[in-house]
Amino acid sequence: PYTLNLTTAGSAISFNGAGNVNMGTTTAGTGTKASVSITTNGALTVGNTIAAVGVATGGAVSLTGANVTQTNTITGGGAGANGTVSITATTGNITTGAIVSNQSVTLNASAGNINSAAPQVGVITTYGATANMVVKTSSTGAADLSNASNTLVAGQVVQFTGGNLTLANGATAIALGTTNSTGDVSITNGAAVGLGTGGGSAAQNIVVGGNLSVAAVTAIADNVYSAFNVTGGLNLGPNGAATPTITMNAARQNGSLAPTVNFGTITANGNGAAVVLAETGDMDLGTMNATTLSVYSLTGNITQSDKITTSVSTGARVGGSTATITLGNTSNGFTSLSLQGGSDASANTSGNTTTAFT
């Protein structure tokens, strides 16, 4: 294979070749024209550092190979220095090391997997206020970005297309943007997690063929303009011993312009915090644990497949005139209960719970 060691002082570095390539230390310096672009149709191995640091512009690092294996740090900009990082595997897999970027990070393994041999080791760090991350695998592939030391800038939007995604992050709030997953999506964060982003016609929607699971510290909340179609189930709860408020209420926002929201079976654990859930069609409640629980179905029925435990109140409401509410689990623990709307409603509760019905 080729071995490339390339250095400039603030200019562009570009290589377009064939066969396997090993990257030596490659530095484009600092400046508006500093960039690194490496393309080959063979395997690309990054065992040494690659860096390009922009100013107002520049700082792009772009790597393309049949497979890309990274074991050393790639830097595209940094704190206060413009830059981006893009890694593309045209026919196979990506293995990531440490990545530092001021703006976007793109990991495109649309024909394969990302970190399939072992969980993510290198940490991803982003800085810019408009930073975003785009992750792609094949429709049957998986992306493992599960290193809890990842440090994505506050407000970072992560977009995913492919099979399965596992994502972890440190103590900054992040959002899941446009998602088209045939499998499961799992997010663990050390702060808040937003689901969906954008407004009006620019809203970013979420489609998950399996389960969408989110664990957060402070809050889990949907974007009021984003549509959801989660086929497997929605699992929301705390990261560790946290008490995140859970608010998934987009189906009831913006009147006739409200997005369509369907979740599958919902499990929500506020761990001592409030939970609000709304769905366009039928709603099936799994395990619920909250201080106050408020659930709404605009056009369908509300049923449950596991118990509800609330310390303050439980409220269930349906919008359809012929809809029903059936909370039949005999282990339910209600302090107070309100069932509203539809043609028929019923509930069971454990014998150890004092319940006021309205």
Question: pLDDT class for 101, splitting at 50, 70, 90?
Answer: very high
Q: Which of 156, 110, 114 is nearest to 136 (CA)?
A: 110
More confident residue, 12 or 358: 12
User: DSSP character for 223?
Assistant: -
Over range 222-243, report the average pLDDT: 97
Question: pLDDT at position 128, please?
Answer: 87
Give per-residue pLDDT as tens, 57-77.
899 999 999 999 999 999 999
Over range 338-347, report the average pLDDT: 94
Cross-strand partners of 151: 125
Question: pLDDT at position 354, please?
Answer: 45
75 phi, psi to nearest 5 deg: -125, 120
User: DSSP character for 94?
Assistant: E
Question: pLDDT at position 197, please?
Answer: 97
Residue 43 has pLDDT above 60, yes or no: yes
Mean pLDDT of the chain: 95
Question: pLDDT at position 130, please?
Answer: 76
Q: Which of 120, 166, 113 is nearest to 136 (CA)?
A: 113
Angstrom distance (rounded) from CA 142 to CA 356? 48
Between strands 193-195 and 164-169, the pairing is unpaired
Residue 249 has pLDDT above 60, yes or no: yes
257 phi, psi to nearest 5 deg: -95, 5
Amino acid at the residue 74: I
Over range 247-258, report the average pLDDT: 95
More confident residue, 130 or 48: 48
Give per-residue pLDDT as tens, 192-208.
999 999 999 999 999 99
Give per-residue pLDDT as tens, 271-324.
999 999 999 999 999 999 999 999 999 999 999 999 999 999 999 999 999 999
Question: How many C-beta neighbours within 10 Å does residue 12 have?
Answer: 15
Question: pLDDT at position 349, please?
Answer: 87
Question: pLDDT at position 267, please?
Answer: 98
CA-to-CA separations, 209 to 163, 206, 263, 277, 304, in angstroms, rounded: 9, 10, 10, 20, 21
Residue 351 has pLDDT above 70, yes or no: no
Over range 106-119, report the average pLDDT: 97
Report percent pLDDT > 70 for the chain. 98
Residue 355 has pLDDT above 70, yes or no: no
